[in-house]
């Protein structure tokens, strides 16, 4: 089995060589793939999407069309703060507010202008999680860009009870990001329930045991540098040490 960095480098290079991504380079990023709008439209037809009233999404460009659709359809949207640089790690976007114009609010800069930064415990219960990916497989194993932020976002939300074990997780990807191989997976990795490409929908848990979800933050998997780079983790650790 290839390790995560070998897989990332291979996918990034393949996407760039095939010219199916936007921008000069997608290395170290969630690929902003050509066709993300088509994948978003397909994802918006899922019954899980139609039933969702509140959605948590990553902030990357590849999922911007999905964020825009969520707001256009009147769904409450929580966008993660890039790199979790604030104790209020999510931006709440309420489409009922006149200043929340979907096309602008779906961008990172627009979200910060019109959204409301919130603490995790202030969030409404999440009905669907949207996650960006570098590589995925049909078993629901996802590989991100290597920062671990998506898994931490999920862990923090799970610990607060706003994301439940049964909350579906979906990712939109280019077909070249869907790999036919086993991918490495650890306890803090958030598996996918549904993968949506520009052409098809893959239900990862159909007919097989569903991969376990993280129940919170796995401190043993975090080094000191990572903890100190995220204000909320520093605060949570201090509170734990004070109360413990």
**pLDDT tens-digit profile, the chain (244 residues):** 899 999 999 999 999 999 999 998 999 999 999 999 999 999 999 999 999 999 999 999 999 999 999 999 999 999 999 989 999 999 999 999 999 999 999 999 999 999 999 999 999 999 999 999 999 999 999 999 998 899 999 999 999 999 999 999 999 999 999 999 999 998 899 999 999 999 999 999 644 567 888 999 999 999 999 999 999 999 999 888 877 6
Reported pTM: 0.94
Neighbour tally for 70: CB within 10 Å? 29
DSSP secondary structure letter of residue 229:
T
Cβ neighbours for 232, distance < 8 A, ≥ 6 positions apart: 84, 86, 87, 89, 120, 156
pLDDT of residue 211: 83
Give all strands (DSSP E) within the chain, no chain letters. 54-57, 76-80, 90-93, 116-118, 128-130, 135-136, 142-143, 169-172, 194-196, 201-203
List the domain boundaries for the chain. 4-243
Q: Give Cα separations from 204 to 35, 168, 193 (angstroms).
A: 21, 11, 5
CA–chain centroid gap for 48, Å, is 16
d(CA 229, CA 116): 22
Choose the CATH number for 4-243 among 3.40.50.10420, 3.30.450.20, 1.10.3720.10, 3.40.50.720.
3.40.50.10420
Give the sign of the dihedral formed by CA 50, CA 201, CA 108, CA 69: negative
State the Cα–Cα distance between residues 124 and 161, nearest whole angstrom: 10
């Amino acid at each position: 089995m290839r390790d995560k960095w070998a897989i990332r480098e291979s996918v990034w290079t393949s996407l760039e060589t095939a010219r199916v991504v936007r921008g000069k380079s997608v290395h170290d990023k969630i690929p902003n793939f050509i066709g993300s709008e088509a994948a978003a439209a397909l994802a918006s037809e899922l019954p899980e999407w139609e039933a969702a009233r509140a959605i948590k999404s990553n902030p990357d460009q590849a999922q911007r069309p999905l964020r825009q659709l969520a707001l256009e359809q009147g769904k409450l949207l929580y966008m993660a703060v890039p790199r979790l640089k604030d104790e209020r790690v999510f931006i709440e976007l309420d489409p009922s507010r006149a200043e929340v114009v979907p096309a602008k609010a779906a961008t990172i800069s627009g979200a910060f202008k019109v959204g409301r930064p919130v603490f995790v415990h202030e969030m409404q219960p999440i009905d669907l999680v949207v996650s960006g990916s570098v590589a995925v497989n049909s078993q629901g194993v996802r590989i991100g860009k290597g920062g671990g932020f998506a898994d931490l976002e999920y862990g923090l939300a799970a610990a607060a009870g706003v994301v439940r074990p049964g909350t579906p997780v979906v990712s939109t990807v280019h077909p070249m990001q869907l790999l036919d191989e086993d991918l490495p997976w650890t306890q803090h990795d958030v598996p996918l329930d549904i993968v949506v490409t520009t052409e098809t929908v893959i239900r990862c848990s159909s007919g097989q045991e569903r991969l376990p979800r993280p129940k919170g933050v796995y401190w043993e998997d975090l080094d000191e540098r990572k903890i100190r780079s995220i204000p909320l983790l520093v605060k949570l650790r201090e509170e734990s040490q004070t109360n413990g």
